[in-house]
Amino acid sequence: MSEAINRQVDHSHMQVSDRVAIDIRNMNKWYGTFHVLRDIDLTVYQGERIVIAGPSGSGKSTLIRCINRLEEHQAGHISVDGVELTSDIKNIDKVRSEVGMVFQHFNLFPHLTVLENCTLAPIWVRKTPRREAEATAMHFLEKVKIPDQAHKYPGQLSGGQQQRVAIARSLCMQPKIMLFDEPTSALDPEMIKEVLDTMIQLAEEGMTMICVTHEMGFAQAVANRVIFMDQGQIVEQNTPSEFFNNPKSERTKLFLSQILGH
Amino acid sequence: MSDTHAQTVPFVRDTMLPAAPPPATQAGAVRWLRENLFSGPVNTVLTIIGLLIIWFLVSHYWDWFAHSVWNANSLNECRQIIIDTWGEGARGACFAVIRERWNQYVFGFYPPELYWRPTMTFGLLIVALVPVLFSASLTIRRAVLVITAIATLTSMIALGSPVIWLAFATLVLAGGFVASERNLGWLLPFSMLYPLMGVWFLWGGSVWGPVFVLVGPVLGWIAWRILAGRMPVIAVLAGVVVTLLFWLFLSGSAAEDAQRLLPMGIEAVRSDRFGGFLLSVTIGVAGIALSLPLGIVLALSRQSDMFLIKSLSVVFIEFIRGVPLITLLFVASLLLNYFLPPGTNFDIILRVIIMVTLFAAAYMAEVIRGGLAALPRGQYEAADALGLDYWKAQRLIILPQALKISIPGIVSTFIGMFKDTTLVTFVGLYDPLKSMSDAVRANIEWKGIYWEPFIFVGAIFFIICFAMSRYSMYLERRLQRDHK
């Protein structure tokens, strides 16, 4: 199960501070009459690496999409880095520029080069001078190990490379929190590793991360908390070792037996 | 052979096969013919029927084209020449009408001594468009600009342009060339000013009219600038309102006063002197330039979350699309007069341009909406997640992609609209196809000539529309981003 993670993860910088990064209280969300998220309570501290697991349709993607308000919650509170998410556009834009997001299908901008993808938001949102934005972008592209592709278009890259560009693009905004929405689910097995390596590297540098993923090896190696969701609720949360070796709820046991059993 | 047992016994490849070229096909014309025209009995029969139809058409019309006369002063003279050359009963086309009435077809009833003005306007139009149309290719820009310069200047000399305007045109053409070589950005101010300049060159009159039209947006900009820091939305509104108020109430009288104090201008030409291709191209270019932005605004409004804006745009689009263009043109020519205060002189060409623009914009909006709908939701989400606000996301992410997808539809709309400019014949303007040909036939010398004018006008329309179509294909290829 952890064949994708084949190196020792360096935990020295992964310190969890006592400053709250994300605070979710009693949050509820409906799609029409369908109750997708029910009474979610979750506090994420700075430097935490949280993996959210669960069967499809359990609301895990919806939950992290609420954190940067790609989805609107109808009841309860979400505050990100001290900013309460309401329908106030100013707050939303503020939160979005502090929170990076990586999508399952990369969502790179196909009409822009890799470098332009990375500099767009810093230039237009942060008002960074172009030259400085390009230097930052190259720095992060080097970090995800594709500086040589900077002038290609996303359509010319492999899936794994595109996802690493997407990570670099988010990092260029120098976010405080990174959200990963099934970042490896659309990738070939050979490419999953390169993306996970990049994510581990980020974790090692102390980034606050929330990852929705089915990569349980990654969860064991990197996460300090695993959250299991089902039917729009948090069913169980625990440290990875407890979660995998000693699951408490029946639903978790069933889930783990299904994804780890073969 | 090491591969023989690959399927039957355990096998490990020790060397990888190098890439080999594909088998040489029997290329050549025979193969192409066999594959495309004679691949089976049905195809063979269809090919033969097709050839027969082509033969039938060519054999019937070949004489007519081959015997065409290009040099005569009347239809009778044409017929005489054909009989003299090809014998009694011979048929032939009389394209001499085009040679003789060329200027009328091109300029309508524009004063002949001022023919150089539309010519210059058209030449400068190309300079203004080059940075927009051919931003990517220096080679194409060079070719277009050199040909434009030669054609414009020689025509202006031939049409007796005053030296000062010849110098002006030379200056702009040369400036356009320099800008195209060095920095296209230098041309943008010219491109922005061109609409006003073009209108002034075509209709003439006092220079103060266009100057004061220009003052409006400047005042609007100042108003916006003063308020922008504190109330962004109000500032935009104030800018628009100030501009409109200035145009409506002040610019006209200010221009008159200025003209009285310091008379400066060129000879005015009334709208009813316009005709032929000058009229078609004027309406067509204005309609194209105005309908695209309006179409984008309508498409975005239709996608908007705001109920009022969305409904207004839906009502507008559905109403305009549901009504024939001729209805709108009649409204422009007849009905508007009832609503406008008596004595208002609201130019007929301007009214037609407005109607044609609204009509094309409604179609354009739907074409662009298709492009917007074709974009994956992920693009909107990624833009949102990066913190781009609505306008920035639209401008930088959504519209560039949606417009690219919509290029074929947009150009189709342009082509349709350009051809529809011939419908202005119904409101008494001299379009090249109907009114102008009627005018030509009204003359005793060319009474009874039918096919030749239609073929000529059709051919010119075809050339322009085909060029637009080729341009759209070029643009699509240029914007291709997947496999390079």
Per the structure, how many domains does chain B have? 1
CB contact under 8 A, B388 and A124: yes
Which band of pLDDT confidence, cut at 50, 70 and 90, is reported for residue A132?
very high
Q: Is B262 exposed, middle or buried (0-12, 13-18, 19+ CB in 10 A)?
A: exposed
What per-residue confidence (pLDDT) applies to B343? 66
What per-residue confidence (pLDDT) applies to A2? 46
The answer to whether A42 faces chain B, any CB pair under 8 Å, is no
Instruction: Write out chain B residues lying below 8 Å of A121, CB-based.
Output: 386-388
CA-to-CA dists, residue A170 to A82, A106, A120, B18, B265, angstroms: 21, 11, 11, 40, 58
A-B Cβ pairs (cutoff 8 Å, strict): 71
Which among A89, A80, A62, A68 has a CA at the least distance from the CA of A24? A80
The answer to whether A125 faces chain B, any CB pair under 8 Å, is yes
The answer to whether A169 faces chain B, any CB pair under 8 Å, is yes
Residue B171 lies in a domain: no
Residue B170 lies in a domain: no
Residue B476 lies in a domain: yes
Main-chain phi, psi angles of B448, to 5 degrees: 95, 5
Q: Does residue B3 have a pLDDT over 90?
A: no
Q: Among B11-15, B102-106, B213-217, name the most confident range.
A: B102-106
What per-residue confidence (pLDDT) applies to B110? 93
Residue B52 lies in a domain: no
Q: Does residue B229 have a pLDDT over 80?
A: no
CB contact under 8 A, A111 and B400: yes
pLDDT tens for residues A138-196? 999 999 999 999 999 999 999 999 999 999 999 999 999 999 999 999 898 888 999 99
pLDDT tens for residues A45-99? 999 999 999 998 899 999 999 999 999 999 999 999 989 998 888 889 889 989 9
ipTM of the modeled complex = 0.91
Which band of pLDDT confidence, cut at 50, 70 and 90, is reported for residue B252?
confident
Please say whether the beta carbons of A9 and A204 come within 8 A. Answer: yes
Q: Does residue B306 have a pLDDT over 60?
A: yes
What per-residue confidence (pLDDT) applies to B25? 62
What per-residue confidence (pLDDT) applies to A4? 55
Residue B117 lies in a domain: no
Q: Does residue B23 have a pLDDT over 80?
A: no
The answer to whether B151 faces chain A, any CB pair under 8 Å, is no
Which among B216, B213, B192, B189 has a CA at the least distance from the CA of B203? B213
Q: What percent of chain B has pLDDT over 90?
A: 51
Mean pLDDT taken over chain B: 89
Residue B453 lies in a domain: yes
* Chain A nearest C-alpha distance from B475 (Å): 14
What per-residue confidence (pLDDT) applies to A1? 43
Give me the domain span that covers residue B348: 272-484
pLDDT tens for residues B28-77? 777 788 888 888 889 899 999 999 999 999 998 888 888 888 888 888 89
CB contact under 8 A, A109 and B397: yes
Which CATH number characterizes residue B301's domain?
1.10.3720.10
Which band of pLDDT confidence, cut at 50, 70 and 90, is reported for residue A135?
very high
CB contact under 8 A, A125 and B483: no
What per-residue confidence (pLDDT) applies to A17? 84
Residue B91 lies in a domain: no
Residue B380 lies in a domain: yes
For A:191-230, CB contacts with B below 8 A are none
Using the CB atoms, write b or e for B183-198: b if 16+ within 10 Å.
ebeebeebbeebbebb
Question: Which of A103, A120, A125 is closest, CB to CB, to B378?
Answer: A103
Q: Does residue B484 have a pLDDT over 60?
A: no
Instruction: Write out chain A residues lying below 8 Å of B400, CB-based.
Output: 111
CB contact under 8 A, B379 and A109: yes
The answer to whether A30 faces chain B, any CB pair under 8 Å, is no
Which band of pLDDT confidence, cut at 50, 70 and 90, is reported for residue B26?
low
Instruction: Write out chain B residues lying below 8 Å of A111, CB-based.
Output: 400-401, 404, 479, 481
| Three-state secondary-structure class, residue A56 | coil
Distance CA B232, CA B152 (A): 45
- Give CA angle at A204 (A199, A206), nearest 5°: 100
| Three-state secondary-structure class, residue A154 | helix
Q: Mean pLDDT, to the nearest integer, of B463-470?
A: 95
Q: Mean pLDDT, to the nearest integer, of B342-361?
A: 86
